[in-house]
Chains A and B, each alone.
Chain A
């Protein structure tokens, strides 16, 4: 700095520097601004998309609640199905779409359309569900497979799961499937595993009954 003495010299040095670096500076600033604006815009878009999906989901839940059950209301169910399809179509990557698919599976099961229900669950499984949702969807899928007569396929699906806290549910289902195949011994051991995994989450009365029903004489 010290060698620049007069104002004139300073101005000259500045304009020299500007000539050399001006364009790249403007370009750099421009790029930065564009990146920020783009990023902001993308974020806003994501936020709006998430909000829209959330609203759709909220409406779907309302329709399902008044559509299902003993006083089933077909018009409401149709609305629910329509909203669910919209979620799956327009907001495919959101969690709401996956919940919508799960709910559609349930509506299909209520109508005994098991293939349709399986398709919905598969949709969930192929759309990057969270690990927990993957376990839940897989358990449900296994139950449907068994209902359609493919107990072995169901068992192998369950065998590959990382059950975590869902262990009791998984083992209880294994027990059901094994019992249906006639293997009481294996069923009992699965039920026992389920029973000992239940500990924290409170008791499961039905599980206890199932286990008691397979009691054997003590040696």
Chain B
């Protein structure tokens, strides 16, 4: 067969085909063939460009981490609904794609060179004011990004930012805009109003039972009881297990000894050194000779620090007389370490050869990190030991609880086996109950899930926090049901009364407005309510009900010498009738130059935001977005 392949491949056609394949590979790489075969399962495409599944997954993961960080220790992963996050992230990616494409179509770029420059000057990637590759990569790793992904993100973000600043920074506001805004914003209105009290009207209204029953019949559905459950649960609590564990003195003593041993290894030594480098201009022999020479000068009494300043090839330490500070064992290269830890305090070593060159080392000082005394340490040790033991018991019981509650139909057996008490809760709704167990999100979600509600099984152990877990089962499911009139008559009466009062007030207000528009005065319609007159009310005023203030600025400007009338519903169910008799425009001239400049900047940037928002809407509308 091979022979026949060989023969056939000699033909011109075969050569042409092979040639074409070779050219394709050479020009476009293997991807050109791979991409032909792999089907697309991109979650979305924007104008034909794919938002890849990988991008989406990465985005979701990033978002998830951020949310967890924000929530801190008590984060509840069940709140992080993947579908919600995923949709949010996908929307963001689509918007980003729309914008980057728009920028790209205008040949806007943020090149590799520019990214490099930006990375180098980013403070969080720097160590001692200089870009540090290791630092850079570790910051990215913490964020779950590879350098390549990060660069890609930066490229996209920066181009979009350029587009955005182009619109935001160039927007402006004019003197006339400012004048108009001040006229409106600082406008004042002359207002009078009186309130109609709901209570007073209410006093005159009687509800008879017939009407109440009728009202109940008409609104039966709104008097259904809410769906509730009664649950029983077993609580596994680490705090309660503390009583069960004992720690004896031997254990504490042992642990303390281990602690002390550990401390002895942690002695820190302050060293100074003089480095004689082996370099292009100085070979190993010369370096050794020079090092020996210096060692002799020190032995002859010359000052180590001065010599370090003058002769050392380590620029970092030479300035400080060769000082390297306090360091533990294992920080330096082995040869250096060995020599340093063999020295007595104040002693100077012979020249030591390392990869850097020849070192002359002086031990300046020794700092033994001292172990705490037994008295100091024993409480902490005891607590740690108890916690370890409790943890072991907790894990063990958790497993047994999981097994037992899975295999039995109710909680009796697990309760007996683990000597736990079955607790029965008060009824609670889907919004959760009062105590910290029935109000826990996981518990509520589990209890109202189909499995527990319909099949009556035990839940798996649900962790409430790091030290407690529960197994719950639904004891009673109180379905929503219609109630009889007698059960809710009080509520029905109260609600009907409210409706009646409201109707009565509306009728009264309508009459009053007719009278006012017919030429009557506000005072004549107020009965015994007080008419309050507030000349020159501004938009931010606080000494009147907010509803009245808002309405006062919505009524038409009154005719010269006339008034505009209106009514509003107040927060307490009452009504207010108001009259506006004058409107004064805000005076732009009274504003200082500085305040004007600031205001204009604010208005200008708001215009820019509208422009950018509209641009976004427009681009989104024009883009062809397909979601999987």
Instruction: Determine the distance from Cα of A96 to Cα of B166 in the docked complex, in whole angstroms.
Output: 8
Instruction: Determine the distance from Cα of A47 to Cα of B111 in the docked complex, in whole angstroms.
Output: 9
Given contacts A132-B619, A216-B556, A217-B556, contact A110 B614 (CB under 8 A): no
Whether B172 contacts A110 by the Cβ 8 Å rule is: yes
- Residues 579-628 (chain B) with a chain A CB within 8 angstroms: 594, 597-598, 601, 604, 610-611, 613-615, 617-619, 621
Other than the given A106-B169, A110-B172, A130-B105, 19 more pairs (CB < 8 A) read A47-B111, A51-B111, A65-B169, A68-B601, A69-B597, A70-B594, A96-B162, A102-B170, A106-B604, A136-B611, A136-B615, A139-B611, A147-B175, A165-B614, A166-B614, A209-B184, A212-B554, A216-B556, A217-B564
Interface residues of B, count at CB 8 A: 49
Instruction: Give the Cβ gap from B333 to chain A, nearest Cβ, in Å.
Output: 44
Given contacts A103-B169, A204-B610, contact A164 B621 (CB under 8 A): yes
Whether B618 contacts A132 by the Cβ 8 Å rule is: yes
Decide yes or no whether A161 CB sits under 8 A from chain B.
no
Decide yes or no whether A81 CB sits under 8 A from chain B.
no
Count A-B contacts at CB 8 Å. Answer: 125
Decide yes or no whether A125 CB sits under 8 A from chain B.
no
Instruction: Determine the distance from Cα of A216 to Cα of B555 in the docked complex, in whole angstroms.
Output: 8
Whether B172 contacts A165 by the Cβ 8 Å rule is: no
Q: Which residues in A have their C-beta under 8 angstroms from that of B23?
A: none
Decide yes or no whether A178 CB sits under 8 A from chain B.
no
Instruction: Determine the distance from Cα of A216 to Cα of B559 in the docked complex, in whole angstroms.
Output: 11
Residue of A nearest to B105 (CB): A130
Q: Which residues in A have their C-beta under 8 angstroms from that of B621?
A: 164-165
Instruction: Determine the distance from Cα of A68 to Cα of B181 in the docked complex, in whole angstroms.
Output: 22
Q: Which residues in A have their C-beta under 8 angstroms from that of B184?
A: 206, 209-210, 213
Closest 4 CB pairs of A and B: A102-B170, A95-B106, A99-B166, A165-B618
**30 examples of A-B residue contacts, CB within 8 angstroms:** A47-B109, A54-B109, A54-B110, A54-B162, A65-B169, A69-B597, A69-B601, A94-B107, A95-B103, A99-B166, A102-B166, A103-B166, A103-B169, A106-B604, A112-B175, A136-B615, A140-B172, A143-B177, A147-B176, A165-B618, A168-B610, A200-B617, A201-B613, A206-B181, A209-B184, A209-B185, A209-B553, A215-B554, A215-B557, A216-B556
Whether A50 contacts B556 by the Cβ 8 Å rule is: no
Decide yes or no whether A144 CB sits under 8 A from chain B.
yes
Given contacts A106-B169, A147-B176, contact A169 B181 (CB under 8 A): no
Of A9-17, A22-30, A56-64, the one contacting chain B is A56-64
- Residues 1-37 (chain A) with a chain B CB within 8 angstroms: 1
Decide yes or no whether A46 CB sits under 8 A from chain B.
yes
Whether B170 contacts A57 by the Cβ 8 Å rule is: no
Decide yes or no whether A78 CB sits under 8 A from chain B.
no
Instruction: Determine the distance from Cα of A96 to Cα of B107 in the docked complex, in whole angstroms.
Output: 9
Decide yes or no whether B207 CB sits under 8 A from chain A.
no
Decide yes or no whether B180 CB sits under 8 A from chain A.
yes
Instruction: Determine the distance from Cα of A61 to Cα of B114 in the docked complex, in whole angstroms.
Output: 15
Indicate which residue in B110, B553, B613 contacts A212 across the interface (CB closer than 8 Å).
B553
Instruction: Determine the distance from Cα of A77 to Cα of B12 in the docked complex, in whole angstroms.
Output: 69
Q: How large is the interface on A (under 10, 10 to 19, 20 to 34, 35 or more residues)?
A: 35 or more
Instruction: Give the Cβ gap from A131 to chain B, nearest Cβ, in Å.
Output: 8
Instruction: Determine the distance from Cα of A209 to Cα of B180 in the docked complex, in whole angstroms.
Output: 11
What does DSSP make chain B's interface, helix, strand, loop or mixed?
Answer: helix
- Residues 172-225 (chain B) with a chain A CB within 8 angstroms: 172, 174-177, 180-181, 184-185, 187
Decide yes or no whether A157 CB sits under 8 A from chain B.
no
Instruction: Give the Cβ gap from A188 to chain B, nearest Cβ, in Å.
Output: 11
Whether B180 contacts A176 by the Cβ 8 Å rule is: yes
Indicate which residue in A54, A64, A212 contacts B108 across the interface (CB closer than 8 Å).
A54
What does DSSP make chain A's interface, helix, strand, loop or mixed?
Answer: helix
Indicate which residue in B162, B166, B174 contacts A143 across the interface (CB closer than 8 Å).
B174
Given contacts A51-B111, A216-B556, contact A130 B601 (CB under 8 A): no
Instruction: Determine the distance from Cα of A13 to Cα of B567 in the docked complex, in whole angstroms.
Output: 106
Instruction: Determine the distance from Cα of A70 to Cα of B610 in the docked complex, in whole angstroms.
Output: 22
Decide yes or no whether B54 CB sits under 8 A from chain A.
no
Residue of A nearest to B607 (CB): A169
Decide yes or no whether B336 CB sits under 8 A from chain A.
no
Q: Which residues in A have their C-beta under 8 angstroms from that of B12?
A: 1
Q: Which residues in A have their C-beta under 8 angstroms from that of B613?
A: 201-202
Instruction: Give the Cβ gap from B288 to chain A, nearest Cβ, in Å.
Output: 52
Residue of B nearest to A54 (CB): B109
- Residues 157-174 (chain A) with a chain B CB within 8 angstroms: 164-166, 168-169
Instruction: Determine the distance from Cα of A130 to Cα of B167 in the docked complex, in whole angstroms.
Output: 13
Instruction: Give the Cβ gap from A76 to chain B, nearest Cβ, in Å.
Output: 13
Q: Which residues in B have their C-beta under 8 angstroms from that of A103?
A: 166, 169-170
Q: Which residues in B have their C-beta under 8 angstroms from that of A118?
A: none
Decide yes or no whether B165 CB sits under 8 A from chain A.
yes
Decide yes or no whether B240 CB sits under 8 A from chain A.
no
Decide yes or no whether A186 CB sits under 8 A from chain B.
no
Residue of A nearest to B617 (CB): A165
- Residues 283-331 (chain B) with a chain A CB within 8 angstroms: none
Instruction: Give the Cβ gap from B118 to chain A, nearest Cβ, in Å.
Output: 9
Instruction: Give the Cβ gap from B331 to chain A, nearest Cβ, in Å.
Output: 42
Instruction: Determine the distance from Cα of A210 to Cα of B564 in the docked complex, in whole angstroms.
Output: 18
Residue of A nearest to B583 (CB): A213
Given contacts A70-B594, A106-B171, A202-B613, contact A164 B618 (CB under 8 A): yes
Instruction: Give the Cβ gap from B560 to chain A, nearest Cβ, in Å.
Output: 15
Looking at B110, B180, B610, B613, which has the most chain A CB atoms within 10 Å of its CB? B610
- Residues 66-116 (chain B) with a chain A CB within 8 angstroms: 102-103, 105-111, 113-114
Q: Which residues in A have their C-beta under 8 angstroms from that of B110?
A: 54
Instruction: Determine the distance from Cα of A65 to Cα of B604 in the docked complex, in whole angstroms.
Output: 14
- Residues 127-180 (chain B) with a chain A CB within 8 angstroms: 162, 165-167, 169-172, 174-177, 180
Whether B611 contacts A70 by the Cβ 8 Å rule is: no
Instruction: Determine the distance from Cα of A132 to Cα of B620 in the docked complex, in whole angstroms.
Output: 12
Decide yes or no whether A105 CB sits under 8 A from chain B.
yes
Given contacts A64-B169, A106-B172, contact A165 B601 (CB under 8 A): no
Indicate which residue in B107, B167, B553, B615 contacts A46 across the interface (CB closer than 8 Å).
B107
- Residues 170-219 (chain A) with a chain B CB within 8 angstroms: 176, 180, 200-202, 204, 206, 209-210, 212-213, 215-217
Looking at A1, A64, A215, which has the most chain B CB atoms within 10 Å of its CB? A215
Whether B618 contacts A95 by the Cβ 8 Å rule is: no
Whether A58 contacts B114 by the Cβ 8 Å rule is: yes
Q: Which residues in B have their C-beta under 8 angstroms from that of A206?
A: 181, 184
Indicate which residue in B162, B176, B181, B615 contacts A58 across the interface (CB closer than 8 Å).
B162
Whether A166 contacts B175 by the Cβ 8 Å rule is: no
Indicate which residue in B109, B177, B615 contacts A51 across the interface (CB closer than 8 Å).
B109
